[in-house]
Chain A
Amino acid sequence: AQRVTQPEKLLSVFKGAPVELKCNYSYSGSPELFWYVQYSRQRLQLLLRHISRESIKGFTADLNKGETSFHLKKPFAQEEDSAMYYCALSGAGSYQLTFGKGTKLSVIP
């Protein structure tokens, strides 16, 4: 079974402060991990995936297999980062993309 846990329902930070959205997973094989974002009144879209190792909109995420984590980080939060963030996992050979319950990020001006 595959499971994704996002421990924070809501995270509020001030503009310019660092952001870390936590994601822990449970999966015995080699996972493919993603962060999806849903801005207000917009559809869910991919922010980044661990295999690409990119920085998108200043966000990065590192897969830590020892701690089974894939935390999303940004050094300086911007107001436009306010959104709902979902961590998701796909197992080896699996079509099932399992989502966490999401974290609502609110950036305070």
Chain B
Amino acid sequence: NAGVTQTPKFQVLKTGQSMTLQCAQDMNHNSMYWYRQDPGMGLRLIYYSASEGTTDKGEVPNGYNVSRLNKREFSLRLESAAPSQTSVYFCASSLEARTEAFFGQGTRLTVV
């Protein structure tokens, strides 16, 4: 089983460029999440979607937008990338609140 799949794995952007990170899960999970991981900061929640059709801000939502396209897919968009958004981004899914979260392999994004 693929689990949670993210694309791309690596990306380099110039300041001001836009891009969308894609995430899909095949476990029929209701909830999906986007985190960023920075050295010494752990994982911080950007946005989450409790169920299809809903999205909510997490701890660090500024500069990002999300779309829950359907139950399987949850995308993260950077409209105008900034060097401060250089990070490793993880998508995750869970069946519901307070259950095990399954993570993708991560996207390493560099903004120059």
Contact = CB atoms under 8 A, between A and B. Distances in A.
Interface string B22-49: 0000000001010100001111110010
Contacts of A32: 98
Interface stretch (A14-22, A58-66, A71-79, A87-95): A87-95
Contacts of B33: 95, 97
B97 A94 contact: yes
Interface string A66-109: 00000000000000000000100010011111111110000000
B101 A46 contact: yes
A59 B97 CA distance: 24
User: Interface size class for chain B?
Assistant: 20 to 34
B56 A95 contact: yes
A44 interface: yes
Contacts of A101: 40-42
User: Interface size class for chain A?
Assistant: 20 to 34
B1 to A, nearest CB: 13
Nearest to B48: A95
A97 B42 contact: no
Contacts of B58: 96
Interface of A: 6, 9, 32, 34, 36, 43-46, 49, 86, 90, 93-102
Given A43-B104, A97-B45, 5 more contacts: A36-B101, A94-B97, A99-B43, A100-B42, A101-B42
